[in-house]
Chain A
């Protein structure tokens, strides 16, 4: 039973399209995150939600909008996709808002914008 699951695993789309990535965790964790991993493997925080409340919102274009309908789900919607958005997007969760015990990551969504 997957702890943090993301869909879809792969997403190929044209520039200008709008797409969503979904994430669900069944660990009972309070906090969820979106990270972006670029082609050089660097993982950078985008957003963090704690019990459905946005607590971290890094410098990310307004085209990216997270939504957390409940504490087990955190979705990412991207408007007007650009070539530079191509990356692997990871969802993660942690037991508490401080992440003292580390994160559990999903397996990633590989987004390719053509």
Chain B
């Protein structure tokens, strides 16, 4: 079992819809949770960053972390065609010996006009 699981989709929604993207994880040591957006043939870019449990809002984007369920979500309100991309969740432990982000496989999102 991979440490981070993410449904690859694809997910297709009409413009204006609310989008819900999710990841589950198995390692309870994860403390830092991020969402990256990756457009085709580009590098991932950091979208949202959350430490431990709770919600964080930034414009149309809301990130939620539920550590008790080992479940994180990204909500996109009023989705736009420009939101069409692959969304990758990522998480890491607090380690003194160096660390690396563990990524989910990414969910491909298509927002149709």
Contact = CB atoms under 8 A, between A and B. Distances in A.
A86 interface: no
A108 B92 contact: no
A56 B98 contact: yes
Nearest to A97: B98
A52 to B, nearest CB: 13
A4 B45 CA distance: 12
Given A41-B8, A42-B105, A98-B94, A107 B86 contact: no
Interface size range on B against A: 20 to 34
Interface stretch (A12-20, A43-51, A63-71): A43-51
Interface size range on A against B: 20 to 34
A100 B32 contact: yes
Given A41-B8, A43-B88, A90 B101 contact: no
Contacts, number: 64
Interface in A89-114: 90, 92, 97-108, 110
A41 B92 contact: no
Contact of B43 (A58, A90, A99): A90
Contact of B92 (A43, A99, A106): A99
Nearest to A91: B43
A41 B42 CA distance: 12
Contacts of B42: 107-108
A96 to B, nearest CB: 10
B8 A102 contact: no
A38 B100 CA distance: 17
Given A41-B105, A99-B92, A50 B98 contact: yes
B45 to A, nearest CB: 7
8 contacts: A4-B43, A33-B100, A45-B100, A45-B101, A98-B92, A103-B44, A103-B101, A108-B42
